[in-house]
Each structure stands twice: as structure tokens, then as C-alpha cells.
Homo-oligomer: A and B are copies of this chain.
Amino acid sequence: VPASPCPDDEQIVGWWGLLVEGFAATSRLLADDIARSGLPATWFEVLLRLRRTPGHRLSASHLAAEVSFSSGGFTKLTDRIVTAGLVERHPCQDDRRVTWIGLTPQGLALIDAATRNHARQLREHVLGVLGTDGFAALADASRALRDHARTLDGAEPADGRRVDGPAPVG
């Protein structure tokens, strides 16, 4: 796509639409494969982050934020993964409000295997399509978007300025 100097609204909205569709389609492909090894996509996201953390443990609130879950939703998600025997809760000694979530040996074994398979899928369905440079550029752009959005998160006041349009439906 040769870049226009000044893309119009339709162009911009269309570009973002491609992102939504591309990400959804690829995510589904990957999630289906992960599910085949016995892991819901949400569990995979949790275990993946524990796996790459020294000590294989993170605080519940930190982990919840990383996987974009609400506090309450993450409690229930954790309940299910604990029941499955893949993670354990550990009360924190220094600050008794926090709960550490740590991988069990079974959890570690499962996420190790799932990660190897995941990487294989990514080579096939992403790296194979975009090439190394393309995938790296995509990752770089995504990091920039993430950092920008997270900077604004919580700093964006619910100010009075509204869309110039019809009142909310309801």
C-alpha cells in the first residue's frame, strides 16, 4: 500500500478494520490449535506469562492487568486453573493483601509443550506470511500502540466533551 500523504476517514477506518479482521482470524486459528492441546486461550495467556517470569510467579492483580482481565473476572479464572492443578495460590508474607499465583509442575510441563506448539503455529501462520522483517515490524508497531494506549489508560478523564451525534441509545 503506497502511503497517501493525507488519508481520509474511510481509508483510516478501513485500515483499522483490516487489523480487527486479521487479528481475529489469526487469533482464532491459533486458539483452535491451543485448545486442541487442552488449553483454553485465556488459560494459555496466563500460563505463558508465568512461564517467562523468574520464579514462575506473579501477583494476581499484576497478572490480571497483563491479560486484560477485570479483578473479579481474574479471580474466577484463577479458580478454574487452580482446580485443574496448573497453578497455585500463595499468600504474600510482606503484604498480606496480595496473592501470588505460581505455576505447578504440571502447569509448567503443559505450558512448555503448548508454547513449543504455539511457536510452530506462529512460524506457519504469521512468520511464513509476513517474513521475519515483516513480523518484526508488526511487533514493533504493536509495542508502540500498546505503550501509547497504556500511557493514556487511567489518565483519560471522563470529560464533558461528547460526540456530536444522537444521544445514547437505551
Over the window 77-89 of chain A, the binary record of Cβ atoms lying under 8 Å from chain B Cβ atoms (1 yes, 0 no) is 0000000111000
B37 touches A146 (CB 8 A): no
A22–chain B nearest beta-carbon distance, Å: 3
A136 touches B23 (CB 8 A): no
Q: Using C-beta atoms within 8 Å of the partner chain, give the interface range for chain A.
A: 35 or more
Pick the residue among B12, B137, B166 that contacts A110 (CB under 8 A): B166
Interface residues of A (CB under 8 A from B): 1-7, 9-10, 12-30, 32, 36-39, 45, 48, 52, 66, 68, 84-86, 106, 109-110, 112-119, 122-123, 125-127, 129-130, 132-146, 148-150, 152-153, 156, 158-159, 162-170
A84–chain B nearest beta-carbon distance, Å: 5
Give bound CA distance, A137 to B37, whole Å: 33
Give bound CA distance, A18 to B168, whole Å: 24
A129 touches B110 (CB 8 A): no
- Find chain B residues with CB under 8 A from A23 CB: 19, 23, 142, 145
Rank and list the top 4 A-B pairs by shortest CB-CB distance, nearest first.
Answer: A113-B165, A38-B168, A22-B142, A25-B149
